[in-house]
Amino acid sequence: MLNYSGVTFQVRVTDYQEGFKWYKTLFNRDPDFIPHEDFAEWEIVKDTWLQVAKGEPVKGNGPMRLGVQDIYSERERLMKTLNMWMEEVQTREGVPAAWCSFSDPFGNLIGLFEELES
């Protein structure tokens, strides 16, 4: 049995400066680590990192969904601060979560989810 110690996800952006600013706004903070030019990392939750790197986005990836406390207010904040549209919040009977998806300006699929009372 393997004992994993963390997770990293990587998204690629064709315009690194624009992508850097977009993800900085998404997370509402500076990256935790910039190991070299055109590469930044945010620790989203303990030992779970998102890497933003200059390059061509991978088609068909994601969505990588971020857990939030209040999906409706976070959706509104992101639509306003990132000046973008996001799909409506989705729910399904029997599923104890709400979710919505969107794309970054480079086509990487991202989403939000909120755990609901079951």
Please provide the average confidence, as pLDDT, over all residues in the chain.
92
pTM: 0.82
pLDDT tens digits along 61-112:
778 899 999 999 999 999 999 999 999 999 989 899 999 999 999 999 999 9
Radius of gyration over every alpha carbon of the chain, rounded to an integer in angstroms? 15
Strand partners for 76: none
pLDDT at 2: 63
Contacts of 113 (CB under 8 A, 6+ apart): 65, 66, 67, 68, 71, 97, 98, 99
Q: Give dist(CA 66, CA 17) in Å, integer.
A: 22
Q: Give dist(CA 54, CA 77) in Å, integer.
A: 26
What domains, with CATH codes, occur in the chain?
Answer: 7-115 (3.10.180.10)
